[in-house]
Amino acid sequence: MNKNSPIYITGHAGLIGSAILRKLNSLGYKKIIVRTHDELNLIDTAKVKAFFAEEKPEYVFLAAARVGGIHANNTYPAEFIYDNIMIQTNVIDLAYRYGVKKLLFLASSCVYPKACKQPMKEKYLFSGPLEPTNEAFGVAKLAGITMCQAYNRQYATNFISVIPGNVYGPNDHLDKDAHVISALILRFHQAKAEGKESVVIWGSGKPKREFLYVDDLANACVFLMHNYVSSEIINTGSSAEISIRGLASLIKKITGFKGKIIYDTSKPDGNLRRALDSTRIRKLGWKPEINLREGLALTYDWFRKARREQK
């Protein structure tokens, strides 16, 4: 992939796609191809085929997906499995048919079993049933991984699959479908603005998660495009865990909320730990650069700017 290679980023307006676009622009890549959803609906096979025939990208970052938090996954499983499988199927198949040199498919840690050993190694894939609340999304992403592997085996393509940790940062959802960090930022910010005395959070706050700032993931994706050739999935995480209780305390400080945090223990905790083993990508030479406190501050700065622009 050189500075004059035609590079297509799907989902360039979303959380991950926009970060990849920022990274490539900062590095001086000159032929970046993007389309909005209104310009190109990736579920429409005929339109995706026409796009590939016209643009002929040599490299593809497949970051487009229907995504959301637990509420969205649990409420709209049909849309999550259908939309994601259709997007992946069209882009992966047409990338092969139109001679794409390399494709990077972004999967999700949801592909690992609900009761997976911790930290989760790449070899644990398919070792047990998925978490029921996001099973439809996880199955769709497993299909994408398997499709990349099948095309590599049968057609000698160079399609790689990356499993990121819990990603956060600018351009995430700011609604009821938000991921946990954006949802907590929104909740604490609104509580402060409305002068509330407390914020209620589901569960005990004891479960631990690792979070990866989206610009670190973008760096990893570009790094892997240059340095990784394998059908085997590769984990990309921060390797730094924090409890939900600790995360909430950090976000409370960053947003300036002065009230109490109440943990509703009548609500489920979910898995007590979900951590990726990112040894393989670390050995290749990549590591994250932005710690959680810094990343949260950057995300809140973006959040406040986005809220002002919405008014």
Q: With a cut of 90, say whether residue 51 has pLDDT above it.
A: yes
Q: How far apart are CA 85 and CA 104, in angstroms?
A: 16
What is the widest separation between alpha-carbon atoms in the chain?
60
Can you say whether residue 62 is alpha, beta or left, with left for phi > 0 and alpha for psi between -120 and 50 degrees? beta
**Residue extents of the structural domains in the chain:** 7-310
Taking only the tens place, the pLDDT of each residue in 55-113 is 999 999 999 999 877 777 888 899 999 999 999 999 999 999 999 999 999 999 999 99
Chain-wide mean pLDDT for the chain?
94
Give the mean pLDDT of 169-183: 82
Q: What confidence category does residue 227 fall into, taking pLDDT thresholds of 50, 70 and 90?
A: very high
Determine how β-strand 208-213 pairs with β-strand 241-243. antiparallel
Q: With a cut of 80, say whether residue 116 has pLDDT above it.
A: yes
Q: With a cut of 70, say whether residue 310 has pLDDT above it.
A: no
Query: What pLDDT score does 71 carry?
Result: 73
Which residues on adjacent β-strands are paired with residue 103? 60, 159
Residues of the chain with pLDDT > 70: what percent?
A: 98
Q: Give the homologous superfamily in CATH for domain 7-310.
A: NAD(P)-binding Rossmann-like Domain (3.40.50.720)
pTM of the model: 0.95
Query: What pLDDT score does 213 carry?
Result: 98
Query: What pLDDT score does 176 carry?
Result: 62
Taking only the tens place, the pLDDT of each residue in 239-277 is 999 999 999 999 999 999 999 999 999 988 878 889 999
